[in-house]
Amino acid sequence: MSVKLAIIYYSSYGTNHQMASIAAEATREAGAEVRLLKAPETAPDEVINSQDAWKAQAEKTADVPEVTPEDMEWANAYLISAPTRFGVMASQMRAFIDTLGGLWFNGKLANKPVTAMTSAQNTHGGQETTLQSIYTTVMHWGGFVVAPGYTDEVIFKTGGNPYGYSHTAGEEFSDDAKAAIGHQARRLVEVAGKLA
């Protein structure tokens, strides 16, 4: 069985979209079948259109499919990337996750490996608690958390977060940042392949 990976992101201004795209490239190169998907937007159009950067990101990614429960059932591994909002994942990602009760009840989310990434406006903006909030959900599903830990030296070069890559919004993606995302994503594919 091959690795069927759903990379699910939410991104208001583009940071998590970039992270998900870097991960998608790395996992395709590692042999996974990948679906790059976005969480549905819940903010009103008038709010989005009132902020130029948010509107531009929405237009830029209009062709990216929205994730569905069917995608979640299809996949045998998940990479979730969502920005930090007050120390937990953005409400758009939470709103999508909250639609998955039927799949959870029927065991369709169990026994699948999951890794997570996030971003915030500053270095200590709640990234670790956001990642833990995603992993708490994974544990309720009966999934397997595949955190990067300290399995590659690049993790120390990008802030030393063992829970998952986190990016400071507005900063460029350095070669080390791309390497850390790629490492975490490939680690997920490796674990998913063993489980499959």
All structural domains of the chain: 4-195 (3.40.50.360)
**How far is 131 from 34, CA to CA, in rounded Å?**
22
What does DSSP say about strands 144-145 and 166-168: parallel, antiparallel, or unpaired? unpaired
Stretch 102-130: mean pLDDT: 94
Could you tell me what percent of the chain has a pLDDT over 70? Answer: 99
Q: Quick one: pLDDT at residue 7?
A: 98
Whether 12 shows a pLDDT value over 80: the answer reads yes
In this prediction, residue 159 carries a pLDDT of 87
Residue-wise pLDDT for 48-71, tens only, equals 999 999 999 999 999 999 999 999
Model confidence band, residue 124 (pLDDT cutoffs 50, 70, 90)? confident
pTM, full prediction: 0.96
pLDDT score, position 175: 97
Q: How far, in Å, are 27, 41, 49, 64, 176 from residue 7 at the CA level?
A: 10, 16, 26, 11, 21
In this prediction, residues 44-49 reach a mean pLDDT of 95
Strand partners, 115: 79
What pLDDT does residue 1 have?
A: 59
